[in-house]
Chains A and B, each alone.
Chain A
Amino acid sequence: MIVNKISDLESIKNKTLEMTKLDSVKKTARITVHMGTCGIASGAKDVLNSLKNKLKDEHIKNIEIKTTGCIGICSKEPLITVERFGEEPIIYEYVNVEKLNEIYDSHIKKGNVIAKYALARGKEVELEERVDNNGHIESQKIVDSSIKGIEEIPFFRKQKRIVMRNRGAIDPYKITDYISRDGYMAAYKAVTELDSQKIIEEVLDSGLRGRGGAGFPTGLKWKFASKADSKEKYIICNADEGDPGAFMDRSVLESDPHSIIEGMIIAAKAVGATKGFIYCRAEYPLAVEILNKALSQARAYGILGKNIFDSNFDLDIEVYEGAGAFVCGEETALIHSIEGKRGNPRLKIPYPAQKGVFSKPTVINNVETLANISPIILNGSDWFRQIGSEKSKGTKVFSITGDINNVGCVEIPIGTSIKTVLDDIADGTQQGSTIKAVQLGGPSGGCLPANYFDTQLDYEPLQELGVIMGSGGMIAINDKKSAVDIARFFMNFCADESCGKCLPGREGTRQMLNILNKICDGKGNKEDVAKLEDLAQVVKKTALCGLGKTAPNPILSTLKYFKNEYEEAVKE
């Protein structure tokens, strides 16, 4: 069907909601298998297939199987959610085929929950409602109160979901699931009711800053592009998530692709673009597949293409697969790459907003930035401004990994302390070790020691300490690891990924790596440390693009906070 009017969206929404309802006869239960790349890698596919076979063998028609993306807590996967009519949903962790069989026989068939395999009672999308009602939803019977409610678990309770509003709740392959959660309502509003200026104002007022790392106000970027004089303009989603240790974009793309498409429609309307690209890493094959499917569904519903919502507004979007070069995350390099060239960056004047892909005005926004757009249009900038810190509004998604118990993707209000994330959400580290530092912002970021863990996760406070928020990679490092070795790891990455265009990027990174190798191999001396510091400062000041300019950050931050480890390593 073609969606032309708001009533079309509403009718799809209502129909979908009606269809997902459980009852006592036709659809008595639903089992949701959570299948992000992470879940699949831990065995979710086996669980899903075995479940499908079971229902088929037993000729069961009244139990529905559903799949969604990751629900954030990757380290406990495979995860499944079991819902029975009138009863509270139960999320099970570390599910394998044997456990599934037990859960099926006991819980699904007879209603006897297996508490020892359970992670939580309730669903994440119902968390706020559960908090308001003392951990209970009226229409749902509590089946086993010995299991913690989802609102009692800090991992879920301390998060605030805007970007990840639909995770675990929708099937990314179904546009109707997205519409049932008010999807495309904001795009409808933007395309049919608002003009370019009004959209830009709303986004400017919201205080949203680009989540790719630099924190530039999104509305301002759009304003520049909207003023550029050109018939042809482009909107690009930068999904080239190359930071090692970062996977929040993958998580969003895999669980909620339409939220990106909707953000792009609104951005395109604001700046006057008619063509869009999603530049996605080829290393994320599932994300590419899901995006392509989502785009063709949106086209089939008339939400992309010519004359969207009967408003004379045209936009089409295609996925452009990157070919594995970290530097292509940098705007100007990405532009060259889309043009089919080597991903070399260029000086950033003229800005892409004036002269971007194919020399036309281009807006490039990060995945997370775009996923924020429709809630802002739908709920208004005032609502968004209430979340976050004084200078930075909204939430930030972090992928938390390393030496912590709960590895996964988390979304927190900007301004939350590092400590809250590490101790509460990530549930600390394994016994017998302590976290001595966090590495933030990938190769462009830096290491922050434990005595700064009260610091707020926000652009400026982090920058003052010599680290950056970046795109949101957060890696906890315990006291058994060497900070010098971590610096070497990142320098190895940067030297390898340097495009070779400018001397500081090409040779500077190589020389810094040589010195670090020498120090790590126990062959370094005091002069080497001094030389390293000098070189780092020079590269930082003279490199052409963001990759080169920020490559020394891991060295400078470890020299600042872990100088003793360098001194120890060069002791005669």
Chain B
Amino acid sequence: MNNSSSIVLSENQWYEIDKIIKDTGNDQHRLIPMLEKIQNYLGYIPVCVQEKISKKTGIPEAEIYGVVSFYSYFTMEPRARHRVQVCLGTACYVKGGKEIADRIKTLYNVEAGQSTTDGRFTYEEARCFGTCGLAPVIVVDGEVYGKVKVEDIEQILGQYK
């Protein structure tokens, strides 16, 4: 996990985050949508941002941390330039999703949830995108690739520099 002190956000980023917090209000019931908005904007939710939310809304820091760490949608790690998700839903698994996952991990020396050291890819293993008709599926920056074969991996990811 990143130490909050090592993360420096720009003035502009803080401005946007403040705005999201203000627009959402300090109702705890709005916490998850607020976190979703912040993550959509920043790509992750570092501890310093959680502290800020707590200060502005009065929701205890521990509670915010508890929510961020509970839901798999949220991450406290900064993301790399490209997000690679391998679907490991049942249909994809049955059709060879695991072999694809293994191939990516070996090729780029990365584990699920981690980023490559060159900051190129963040690798994630996803649940199910509900596009089982195309299994096995990988998603790169939101772009879906269906019926992927292990030997296609390098060519697909090669497009993302």
Residues of chain A having any CB pair with chain B under 8 Å: 37-38, 40-42, 74-75, 77, 241-247, 250, 282-284, 320-326, 337-343, 358, 399, 401-403, 407-408, 439, 442, 473, 475, 477, 481, 486, 489-490, 493, 499
Contacts and interface: CB of A to CB of B under 8 A. Distances in A.
B145 to A, nearest CB: 8
A284 B130 contact: yes
Contacts, number: 130
Contact of A402 (B28, B74, B91, B128): B91
Shortest 9 CB-CB distances between A and B: which pairs? A74-B133, A247-B130, A245-B90, A244-B89, A323-B71, A324-B73, A401-B91, A340-B31, A41-B144
Interface string B71-87: 11110000000000000
A37 B130 contact: yes
Given A245-B90, A283-B129, A403-B95, 20 more contacts: A37-B129, A245-B91, A246-B128, A247-B131, A283-B130, A321-B32, A323-B35, A323-B36, A323-B71, A323-B74, A340-B30, A340-B67, A341-B63, A343-B71, A401-B132, A402-B90, A403-B94, A442-B90, A473-B90, A481-B94
Contacts of B134: 38, 41-42, 74
Contacts of B135: 401, 407
Contacts of A473: 90
Nearest to A327: B70
A340 B42 CA distance: 20
A324 B72 CA distance: 5
B127 interface: yes
Contact of A324 (B63, B127, B132): B127
Nearest to B72: A324
B161 interface: no
Interface string B115-153: 000000000001111111111010000001010000000
Given A244-B127, A323-B32, A324-B71, A38 B91 contact: no
A475 B94 contact: yes
B88 interface: yes
B158 interface: no
A420 B72 CA distance: 38
Given A244-B127, A245-B90, A340 B28 contact: yes
B90 A475 contact: yes
24 contacts: A37-B131, A38-B130, A38-B134, A41-B131, A42-B134, A77-B133, A244-B88, A245-B89, A245-B90, A246-B128, A247-B132, A283-B129, A321-B33, A323-B32, A323-B73, A340-B28, A341-B66, A341-B67, A401-B90, A401-B135, A402-B95, A407-B132, A408-B133, A489-B90
Of A244, A326, A399, the most chain B CB neighbours within 10 A belong to A244
A247 B128 CA distance: 9
Interface in B31-66: 31-33, 35-36, 59, 63, 66
A401 B146 CA distance: 14
A489 B71 contact: no
Contacts of B33: 320-321
B36 A321 contact: yes
A489 B90 CA distance: 8
Contacts of A403: 94-95
B146 A244 contact: no
Contacts of B130: 37-38, 241, 246-247, 250, 283-284
